[in-house]
Structure 1
Amino acid sequence: MMNPKIIHAIAGTLAMLIIATFWTTTTISELFLSVSAIVAVKHYIAYYGIACLAVCMAMTGGTGNFLSKSRKGRLITDKQKRMKIIALNGICVMLPSAIFLNYKASSGQFDTIFYVVQVIELMVGIVQLTLLGKNFQAGLKMAGRLRKKKPAVA
């Protein structure tokens, strides 16, 4: 059986990479590529990316809960609070947005509503990456791989 710490680290890292890939491919396709490229990006995110991300997030959350049972402290509490926000954003904003944007793109409806939802999805994507990044940093601190910053001496 693989070490839960390793599973947690790999799954969390993959989740961050998947979200960053969604964000980057969306931005590049919409700014620089053709309509067919935008449609393809929306299709792959909705049909394949979400499933991969859901598995990674479930593994990250499950192993995180398992690992945190024996630990206490502010880093754990903060990570758990951030994960609740990440889950809520994912279920309430990111997932419905991805499905909606795929529907609109596949129907050729690149209207104001499409772009408003797209901007919201991109903004929440940055929030997700920021929160996951903070959790990643906290995990490194807990593992002793990242030292706490010492206050600057004047």
Structure 2
Amino acid sequence: MKVLHPAAGALALATMLAFWLSTAFGEISGNMEVIRSVKLAIPWGLPLLIPALAFAGFSGFRLGGRWNHPAVAAKKKRMPLIALNGLLVLVPCALVLRQLAVNADFGAIFYAVQALELCAGATNIVLLGMSFRDGLRLKRRIRA
């Protein structure tokens, strides 16, 4: 668990960051085929991201147990927010954007959902990053 937990957390963070950066760079490029390709590819990464997040959350709760350290408490508070944001906002956005991209429907709805996805994704990246940092502090790999 002590090895798999940080590995799952790092994989989840890296995957979310890859999704977010791909989306942002696709939009910056302005190339509709690149944007379409990114939106079609992201749902294929969900079977990697979702189990990584679930395992990171599960293993974190097991490792944290009854430990009352403030960093552990903060990580425990963040994980439900990360999970809810992912399941209720990010996954539906990814699936809606995929369908809109399949239909080459890059109108106002596409960009509204895209904006929501970018904001929710950035939120999860920050929350996961904070948890990763707290984990490193707990292992005394970085200074508080």
Superposed pair shares fold, TM > 0.5: yes
CA RMSD of aligned residues (A): 1.2
Match of 1:65 in 2: 61
The answer to whether the aligner puts 1:129 opposite 2:125 as a matched pair is: yes
* Matched residue, 2:73: 77
Q: Rg larger in 1 or in 2?
A: 1
Number of the residue aligned with 2:35: 38
Q: Structure 2: which amino acid aligns with 1:125?
A: G
Higher mean alpha-carbon deviation, 12-21 vs 31-40, is at: 31-40
Tell me, in whole angstroms, the C-alpha distance in 2 between the residues paired with 1:51 and 1:38: 21
Corresponding position of 2:50 = 54
Partner of 1:141: 137
- The Cα of 1:16 is off from its aligned counterpart by 0.7
Paired residues in the alignment total: 144
TM-score by length of 1: 0.89
2:22 equivalent to 1:22: no
Q: Equivalent residue of 2:2, what SS?
A: helix
**Pair 1:10-2:20 in alignment:** no
Q: Which runs of 5+ in 2 are unaligned?
A: none
For the residue of structure 2 that corresponds to 1:100, the secondary structure is helix
- Provide the identity percentage: 35
